[in-house]
Structure 1
Amino acid sequence: MLVWERPEPANRPAPAPLSRELIVRTAVELADEAGLEAVSLRKIAAALDVGPMRLYGYIDTKDELLDLMVDAVHAEVHPSGDGWRAVLTSLAEATRQAVHRHEWFADLIGGRPQLGPNALARGEAVMAALDGVDVDMIMPVVTAVDAYVIGAVRREIAERRAERATGMDQRQWQATFGPYLVRMFATGRFPALETVVRDAAHLDADETFRIGLGFLLDGIGAGIGAGAG
């Protein structure tokens, strides 16, 4: 029986009441503070001041815990709006915001089964917004948006982690590597790249995400037809 359907043990009185929800909330807090490497049943038990073996009545494996943590974050994603484009935009933006609140989520999103009640509710809201679209096109559309969001947020989180690891912000990076690029451009081998680096607007992450999402949704609109929403 999957963890979503398995009953919890009977609750025990204070001083150490326990529930699956409390365990997952504690795991999320540990991951928010120090990453997934900080999450283990032993550390969760210590944070809750209970014996580690008590947790096994609620969660059997680390994989179950990760699935529950992912579904807890899905509870923060509430797609809304009128029409498929508004709902898919809301889905993408809300998912990105959730990743920025929970950096570890970038490591798990797309890689865990989306079978929990919150993930199913998210999926239901999106599917309902696509009512009227050819049923055979719905999953490719949702998959395309998910793939864009996952790729974008993983890149953003990787850049954030690299900045922390190196201690260099964008300006410091440019000061360090800019002279190298100037020398490479001077060879004349990269004229198109040089034009973009020198002349194109340097958009921030929010603008880059919004524009890229707009391109994708324009393509989806053309593919499913204007009459679909």
Structure 2
Amino acid sequence: MVVWERPEPPDRPVPAPLNRARLVRAAIQLADADGLDAVSLRKVAAALDVGPMRLYGYIATKEELLDLMLDTVYAEIQPTGDDWRQVLRSLAEATRQAAHQHEWLADLIGGRPQLGPNTLATGNAVLAAMGSVDLDTVVPAVAAVRAYVVGAVRREIAERRAERASGMDIKQFQTAYGPYLERTFATGRFPALAMAVRSGPHLSADETFRIGLEFLLDGIEARISN
């Protein structure tokens, strides 16, 4: 029986009341503060002021806890809109916003399908918004948007982490490595790249995400219109 179907232990009078929702909230607070490495059953128990063994009445493994954390965050991802394009855009933007609020989400999204009730509700809303579009188009289209979001979000979070680790933001990084690039480009070995760096648009993370998403949605719309 998966964790979402397994009943919780019955309530009993104890100094520190506990349920699955409180357990998951404590784990999310630890992860928000210090990343997934800060989440262990021992640390969650300490945050709740209970013994670690009490947690095993609610979850069997740390992997179940991570599944519950991910599904809880998916409650924040509520795609909205009047047509499939608006809904897919909303899904992408809401997922990105959730990852910015919970950086550890970037480490868990992707991979095998998530099967928690909130995640399933999000997927159902997206598919329902595709209306009469045939499933041969719907399934890869939604998968393409999800893949785009996962890649974009992981890149952005990796950049955030690199800034913290190096102590340099993107402008400081460009200043530090700019002379090296200019010397390299002066050799003439990378003319196309040199032109893109010197003359191309320098977009913010928000602009990069938005424009790339619209390119993808344009392609899906063209496919649907054929």
Question: Shared fold (TM-score greater than 0.5)?
Answer: yes
Query: 1:103 aligns to what?
Result: 103
- In 2: Cα distance, 1:83 partner to 1:172 partner: 42
Work out the CA distance in 2 between the residues paired with 1:126 and 1:153: 19
Aligned pair count reads 226
Deviates more, 1:66-75 or 1:12-21: 12-21
Instruction: Determine the structure 1 residue equivalent to 2:35.
Output: 35
Q: Which amino acid aligns with 2:109?
A: I
Is contact 1:77-1:122 (8 Å) kept? yes
CA distance in 2, matches of 1:123, 1:22: 25
Provide Cα deviations, 1:42-94, integer angstroms capped at 9, x if missing partner: 00000000010000000000110110011011000000001100000000000
In the alignment, is residue 179 of structure 1 matched against residue 194 of structure 2? no
2:122 alignment partner in structure 1: 122
Deviates more, 1:177-186 or 1:103-112: 103-112
Paired letter, 2:212 = G
Q: How far 1:190 moved relative to its partner?
A: 1.0
Structure 2 residue aligned with 1:160:
160
Match of 2:144 in 1: 144
- Counterpart of 1:203 in structure 2 is 203
Aligned to 1:73: 73
Instruction: Specify the code of the residue in structure 1 equivalent to 2:68.
Output: L
Equivalence map 1:7-18=2 (5 Å): 7-18=7-18
Q: Does the 8 Å contact 1:77/1:95 carry over to 2?
A: yes
Cα drift, residue 14 of structure 1:
4.8
SS in 2 for 1:158: helix
Q: Percentage identity across aligned positions?
A: 71
Kept in 2: contact 1:12–1:18 (CA 8 A): no
- Look up the equivalent residue of 1:141 and give its one-letter code: A
* 91-100 or 112-121: bigger deviation: 112-121
Q: Is the 8 A contact 1:67 1:113 kept in 2?
A: no
Query: Shift of residue 111 of structure 1?
Result: 2.9
What displacement does 1:112 show?
A: 4.9
Task: Please give the alpha-carbon distance, in whole angstroms, between the structure 1 residues aligned to 2:111 and 2:52.
Answer: 27
Q: How does 1:42-61 map to 2 (within 5 A)?
A: 42-61=42-61
Larger CA deviation: 101-110 vs 14-23: 14-23
Q: Partners of 1:12 and 1:146 in 2: how far apart?
A: 43
Q: CA deviation at 1:11?
A: 1.7
User: Does the aligned pair in 2 maintain the 1:16–1:49 contact within 8 Å?
Assistant: yes
Structure 1: which amino acid aligns with 2:132?
G
- Amino acid of the residue matched to residue 218 of structure 1? D
Aligned to 1:222, what secondary structure does the other structure show?
A: helix
Question: Match of 2:156, as an amino acid?
Answer: E
Q: 1:136, CA displacement in angstroms?
A: 2.0
Q: CA deviation at 1:167?
A: 0.3
Conserved? CA contact 1:71–1:116, under 8 Å? yes
